[in-house]
Amino acid sequence: MEFAALAERAERVAANDGDIETTLAVAALLADAGAADGGEDDGTERDGSTDDLPVVVRFLLGRVFPAHDTRTLDVGPALCREAIARAAGQNVSAADVEDRLAERGEIGAVAADYDFGGQRGLAAFGSGRDALTVAALDEELRDLAAESGDGSESRKRDALFGLFTRCSPSEAAFLARLVLGEMRLGVGEGTVRDAIAEAFLAPDETPDPGDDSGGASESDAPELVASEDAVAAVERALQVTNDYGRVAVRARDEGIAGLREESLRVGRPVQAMLAQAGTATDAVDAFGEVAVETKFDGARVQVHYAPADAGPGGTEALGPRLYSRNMDDVTEALPEIVEHVAERVDAPVILDGEVVAVDDDGDPLPFQEVLRRFRRKHDVERMREAVSLRLHAFDCLHADGDDLLDEPLRDRHDRLREVLPDAAADLTLADDAEAIAAAERAALDAGHEGVMLKNPAAAYTPGDRGRDWLKRKPDVETLDAVVVGAEWGEGRRAELFGTFLLAVRAENEANGPPDRDVDGPAPAGYATVGKVATGITDEALADLTERLEPHVVDETGTTVAFDPELVVEVGYEEIQTSPTYSAGYALRFPRFVGVREDKGVDDADSLARVRRLAGDD
């Protein structure tokens, strides 16, 4: 395929404004790029092995190499502007290009504006022999990426300049955006995924234009016809290979069955599974049983290792390789982790974990310390002396020939403990918020960041920030509330108050304090916001009972009301609107922190603050 044709098609893709239209336009482009004898119709020589499809797919996503490939072009904006300036002619400086960029806002438009005359140049020679093809461009960019060492920057600039001089305006725009990885086509990864399914896996039914007999939809609105199964197969293959080009080719050549055969490969990093913020109650509600792990404050690392003479046939030996969350190869910076893995693991593995800096006692140090080591290329040994690192592995994606992505976390964790017991993070199962709070306190006490709450039954979904992994949101603020009621405890604690009704000041409310049918008494000028029974030691309970008993003004069954006297500090996970309490809000998962000895009831928090904390003001 000629580069000019791709650049023009890409412009047309960008001009679409509907998602479906864009996907269909990309699908048509992929189908053409991937047509069996693609390119031969132009009569140029092809060696038969050239396949434009993977290249076109990557280019559309602003890539020359697949995401898992650690090679990069390493062409920055400055180098690109210099190459453009040179191609534009003697009177144009890099500063001029920068000025234009400030006006136009985008490098592709600037490159197109200059009109390097690539096309006219070719016309002047009277032949198309020099027209850039997609394959040739790909090769030149790969050569450019391979430049390293002294003078490599200027060789890259020369190479890019040479390419620009061969470009028409639309090619120049495409090339400038490609080398900077910002295609601006409105084509994201999801679009390309759907387009691959649409181009190569959709049922072959060309509707007969004359056939209006039932079945076909009435409107002419464009539709995607690939099945959900087809899209899921593409998505799956993308997750395990991290290579859009490869997946497009496999979909075209071998269909859904071929895609399903794609598997993980040791040495080819996959995207990390990500977490959403969530609370302990969210986790208990969603998962029932919750896998609680320490949240380590370090840097994410994916460990790939295939020891020599181990493992099932087909797994090539590979020394430990370590990849960052962005799949950069960080192996050289972390020699002790490499040694640790090489000494202990005796089967091919892909592990997920966190590298943490530790002090001489093995206690965790702040995140900034890891950064002193993580991407370091020089002075690695010296820094190794200064900052010690430790690996905490928390997941196992592959072990000894088995891909484990679809296994439940619980089982993956078992495999993790088998392959690398001394680096495997602890996983505890908990089914109530209190147990989670206890685990969190232990993690914080040990100097860690908090806890992760995971669904023990969930698969590992690369690149997904789903609801199966929750990073527990820390309590951001506490509330100083007035204790306005209580319930007597039960059994052993029958002589003590057990649950305390909390209120905030509401005397300044424009319409007077809220007046609702409430669960418990609220004295004039106060509005209730919840009850707290968690986090109170026996000692604190005795103290609270002793201090509050003299202030009882009413008693019904086991419930008492107090005159407002005592202010307590309470933590909570969230404030939500609620019909249960007269404030119209309820604290979720309230936790007793302590008595505010220093505060009188007039210093307690107000309903206005509760509203603000709830995000309503």
The annotated binding site for ATP is made up of 293, 300, 325, 354, 394, 465, 471
CA distance linking residue 274 with residue 468, whole number of Å: 9
Q: Alpha helix locations (H) across 261-334?
A: 280-287
CB of 471 to ligand AMP, least distance (A): 5
- Answer left, alpha or beta for residue 362, where phi above 0 means left and psi between -120 and 50 means alpha: left
| Residues of each annotated binding site | 293, 300, 325, 354, 394, 465, 471
Q: How far apart are CA 241 and CA 450, in angstroms?
A: 32
For residue 310, give every residue at least 6 positions away whose Cβ sits within 8 Å of its Cβ, in sequence order, or none: 346, 347, 348
Q: Which is nearer to ligand AMP, 160 or 391 (CB)?
A: 391
- For the CB of residue 460, give the shortest distance to ligand AMP in the complex, in Å: 11
Give least dist CB 296 to ligand AMP, A. Answer: 4
Q: Where does residue 11 rank: exposed (0-12), middle (13-18), buried (19+ CB within 10 A)?
A: middle
Minimum distance of ligand AMP from residue 475's CB (angstroms) = 16
End-to-end CA distance of the chain: 58
Which residues lie below 8 Å from residue 77, measured CB to CB, with a gap of 6+?
A: 107, 180
The residues pairing with 292 across neighbouring beta strands, listed in sequence order, are 428, 453
Q: Please give the single-letter amino acid code of residue 427.
A: L
Q: 295, 473, 531, 599: which is the annotated catalytic residue?
A: 295
Among residues 108 and 269, whose Cβ is nearest to ligand AMP?
A: 269
Concerning whether 295 is annotated as a catalytic residue, the answer is yes
We find the least distance from the C-beta atom of residue 356 to ligand AMP, in angstroms, to be: 9
Q: What are phi and psi of 364, to 5 degrees?
A: -70, 145
CB-nearer residue toward ligand AMP: 100 or 373: 373
CB nearer ligand AMP, residue 287 or residue 296: 296
**Rounded CA separation 92/86 (Å):** 7
Q: Where are the beta strands (DSSP E) in 274-339?
A: 274-278, 290-295, 299-306, 318-323
SS3 282: helix
Q: Residue numbers of the site for ligand AMP (CB under 6 A)?
A: 272, 274-275, 293-296, 300, 325, 354, 394, 425, 452, 471
Give the residue with the Cβ less far from ligand AMP, 234 or 275: 275
For residue 391, how far is the Cα from the chain centroid? Answer: 21
Instruction: Give min distance, CB of 605 to ligand AMP, in A.
Output: 28
Q: Which is nearer to ligand AMP, 16 or 302 (CB)?
A: 302
How far is residue 579 from each of residues 197, 278, 393, 428, 613, measured CA to CA in Å? 49, 23, 44, 35, 17
Closer of 184 and 325 to ligand AMP (Cβ): 325
CA angle 287, 291, 293 (to 5 degrees): 140
Which structure tokens are listed for 276? Answer: 């959403």
DSSP 546-559: HHHGGGEEEEETTE
The residue among 6 and 393 lying less far from ligand AMP, judged by its C-beta, is 393
C-alpha–C-alpha distance, residues 79 and 90, integer Å:
17
Joined together, the tokens standing for residue 437 give: 């709070």
Map tokens 């078992």 to a residue: 414
- Nearest CA-CA partner of 586 in 536, 532, 535, 544: 532
Nearer to ligand AMP, 294 or 528 (CB): 294
3-state secondary structure 121-183: HHHHHCCCCCCCEHHHHHHHHHHHHHCCCCCHHHHHHHHHHHHHHCCCHHHHHHHHHHHHCCC
Which residues belong to the active site? 295
